[in-house]
Amino acid sequence: MSNHQSRRSFLGHAAAGFSLLTMPQLARAQAQLQPA
């Protein structure tokens, strides 16, 4: 039970860190695709 909970929390933290790392890169790529 605790193992499943820890795994879920780990996946949540990993997803949050992944989104934090990729969001700036995605925004920069989109800005390059369509310059204002």
pLDDT at 24: 92
What torsion, rounded to 10 degrees, do the Cα atoms 27, 29, 32, 36 define?
-20
Q: How far apart are CA 28 and CA 24, in angstroms?
A: 6
Rounded Cα gap, residues 31 and 1, in angstroms? 45
Structure-token pair, residue 35: 């310059």
Question: Distances from the Cα of 11 to the Cαs of 4, 5, 28, in angstroms?
Answer: 11, 10, 26
pLDDT in tens, 8-30: 999 999 999 999 999 999 999 98
pLDDT of res. 4: 84
